[in-house]
Amino acid sequence: MPTTVHSISALTAGLPLGDIADLFDAEGRPHRPEHATGARRRYRTVWISDVHLGTRGCNADMLIDFLDHVDSDTMYLVGDIIDGWQLKKRFYWPAAHNDVIWRLMKRARRGTRMVYIPGNHDEMFRQFAGLDFGGIQIRRKAIHETADGRRLLVLHGDEFDAITLSHRWLAHVGDAAYTMLMALNRWVSAVRRRWGMPYWSLSKHAKAKVKNAVAFISRFEEIVAEAAGSRGVQGVVCGHIHTAEMREIAGVAYYNDGDWVEGCTALVEHHDGRMEILDWGEEMRRRGAPPAVALAAPVPARAALAA
């Protein structure tokens, strides 16, 4: 029987998150009131990860919009929800980040089954695996059973960093950066030509790096799927590499719910067990909502880099 802890300050005592503890316990209203949506979309399950609260990169406004439009029976927080690494370096916690926490806690109180699987950026919460606080279950990993009877292993994904042995930052190189490098390459070449210097392709080097990123993502997906397969489950849900994906790898269903820094995506399970990736930037554009934050370019698609 897991221990129930009602106050997060009891959990965070002695951690570098002392200041945040008060925010968790705040019973007051959120800075931004909940959007009064008549009928929220309801799914069986929602997975989000890599929110990186406590950093400037976090698109908290879009996540707030998502949380105000979508409900589910179960919600998994698949790690890197709070960026403890960055907070340790510099305390950054705008009201919108508090509003995200408020909404997640509220969800638990309203009866959504909440499971929080800390990642590597919020690894300070891993020591509380097995505990429940405020209706949120903290776990190291979980097994989710879908409506159509499949068993999915849910974990953050950094467990495989040592195996993939790649530069993780390469996974964050976007299409826009690539396009910019191509333009920069033309400029560099022109300048070098004028100065009588030999040709040196910046874009070639950039391309190699982006190709590395693509290779890394593929390798990560394959390793995670293989590990899940060897544990006898039909699929795996993870985050970590900020690349939303849904594909079958050697008979194992691989799902990645993406992130709220670059892609702003969530993974959902419909009531019949069908899975879908929601692209919330796209959802907001379709609705005609003003773009609260300029979206960073999405991580390059595998196909776009065949060159």
Kindly list the residues in this chain that would bind Mn ion in the complex (CB under 5 A).
Answer: 80, 119-120, 158, 240
Cβ-based burial of 71 (10 A; exposed 0-12, middle 13-18, buried ≥19):
middle
Closest to Mn ion by CB, 16 or 135: 16
In the chain, the DSSP E strands lie at 4-5, 41-48, 70-77, 113-116, 132-133, 136-138, 142-145, 151-154, 235-238, 245-249, 252-256, 265-269, 275-279
Q: Position 220: which residue type?
A: F
Distance, in Å, from the CA atom of 287 to the CA atom of 268, rounded to the nearest integer, reads 19
Q: Position 122: which residue type?
A: D
Contact 20, 92 (CB under 8 A): no
Closest to Mn ion by CB, 155 or 233: 155
Closest to Mn ion by CB, 32 or 219: 219
Closest to Mn ion by CB, 52 or 144: 52
Nearest approach in angstroms of CB 82 to Mn ion is 12
Nearest approach in angstroms of CB 178 to Mn ion is 23
Around Cβ 240, how many Cβ atoms within 10 Å?
Answer: 27
Closest to Mn ion by CB, 20 or 81: 81
Nearest approach in angstroms of CB 14 to Mn ion is 23
Closest to Mn ion by CB, 65 or 80: 80
Strand-pairing partners, residue 48, are 77
Q: How many residues does the chain have?
A: 307
Nearest approach in angstroms of CB 236 to Mn ion is 15
Closest to Mn ion by CB, 85 or 150: 85
Nearest approach in angstroms of CB 226 to Mn ion is 19
Nearest approach in angstroms of CB 298 to Mn ion is 18
Contact 52, 122 (CB under 8 A): no
Nearest to 241 by CA among 219, 226, 208: 219
Nearest approach in angstroms of CB 73 to Mn ion is 26
Q: Which helix (H) or strand (E) holds 173?
A: none
Nearest approach in angstroms of CB 198 to Mn ion is 41
82, 85, 99, 148, 241 from 88: Cα distances, Å: 11, 5, 21, 43, 22
Q: Which helix (H) or strand (E) holds 121?
A: none
DSSP 54: T
